[in-house]
A and B are shown apart, each in its own frame.
Chain A
């Protein structure tokens, strides 16, 4: 699945470095990262904890500032891109405001953007339908299961209507069955909306199942060890995970991960 027809670069990182000063000295969270992401791609970042996958996502979102190198989001600096509200961000936890109903949580970014009431309502209805939460808009977050809460937070990021979605291990805390279900939904969403998605995960099947491109990373210092372009077909039923093609890609990811660990 390559939407190269509109081949424009959404994210371009060159020699990107990020060091954290800690009490135990300098931690190289990102070391000489080079990466390009095209519009419409579904890119997974996979690697053990400490490999900088979340940090890289946060750099794109302008939540962290790189120490050296350059990064462009839509041809702008991350700061400009954030001010232009170029991306929707989905965190590891649902991060819903407990005192707002689901509807009002989804409309939060829209209120901040200053959209009209009617526009807000239209977008809330549309996105709540996209994630399959119709009828739950009036509920408070605690009345929903963990999976539904995370779907609400995806709806909130979608309501933003940015072309880029940054998802930081959004399903990490959910059980296998819910996770499978949400993976299918995310894939459908991506096909329906044609957005560019950056997806952080530590699950190999999840990465292979979802992505058009898999970025394998390794820790200390955080760096990219392999970039795998997946040639799985567009249409991906869950049992595609049993096919030789799928297993072959998964094997390559596994090797990439092992390679990163070898020099410890």
Chain B
């Protein structure tokens, strides 16, 4: 127990502490010009202590202090009803639901594409260039179009946002899965050939299990960018709901504390999602006999 504390918790806390120190440093540094300006306008005497204290108490700071963000998150999570439009939990859930839907659809699409590509030479030649091209288009540019076009055909709400997550997340899945499905040793392919296996027997007995580690690695990337996709998808919807909406409305009104609290929440959400995928990966690999 003390060992895990030393090896896992301590390093993390050290980094958090370091980030905290740097953050506070920048808070004072970035907010100081405006504060000094204020002092001079009102001809107040000020000391270094005053400056440090006052730069951390701005309503609309250039960079809010960490404790301001923490207080804001506390106020908008624990102290608000979940159904409230001001609750971060409410907004997080909106974003999370389209992230998860998009991730599931993206994983499915990516796996199907990979199977087509590996099992069919023509698909390999024709599909792969398009898959790569799809990711060179900046998502910020096409997200509004997807939302608008789907809205025009009567689709709104969860699905259009989830589709943007799908668009981003299918790519790492497809690429990783293709590599995974092609990863079996040629000797094992020969072995299966001596058994006179059918194509699908080869697929299910050898290719699919071989691809599992690759799939989970891809899923870790895919779930994180699914979240990015969901947030981007919330920007052009007019900032109704979701973490993206909080970011946008925060920037409309110069509410930097609100922006940062939404950002931190999104980061925490991403971390939790990646951890969840990791746990699923570990359970699966334990079942597949991977040594601890």
Contact = CB atoms under 8 A, between A and B. Distances in A.
Interface of A: 61-63, 82-83, 85, 87-89, 91-93, 95, 97-101, 108-109, 111-113, 140-142, 160
Contacts of B190: 63, 89, 91
Contacts of B194: 61, 63, 82, 87-89
Contacts of A91: 187, 190-191
**Interface bracket on B:** 20 to 34
A101 B205 contact: no
B188 interface: yes
- 9 closest Cβ pairs, A-B complex: A140-B289, A99-B288, A89-B194, A109-B195, A112-B195, A95-B187, A99-B209, A95-B191, A112-B197
Interface in B195-253: 195-197, 201, 205-206, 209, 212
A118 B262 CA distance: 59
Contacts of A98: 288-290
A83 B196 contact: yes
A101 B206 CA distance: 14
Contacts of A141: 289
Determine chain A's interface SS by DSSP, over half rule.
Answer: loop
B207 to A, nearest CB: 11
A114 to B, nearest CB: 10
Contacts of B188: 95, 97
A63 B196 CA distance: 11
B37 interface: no
Nearest to A114: B201
A99 B212 CA distance: 10
A89 to B, nearest CB: 5
Contacts of A140: 289, 291
A108 B289 contact: no
Contacts of A88: 194
Contact of B196 (A82, A99, A101): A82
A156 to B, nearest CB: 9
Contacts of B288: 98-99
Given A62-B193, A112-B197, 16 more contacts: A63-B190, A63-B194, A82-B193, A82-B194, A89-B194, A93-B187, A95-B187, A97-B188, A99-B212, A108-B205, A109-B195, A112-B196, A112-B201, A113-B195, A142-B289, A160-B195
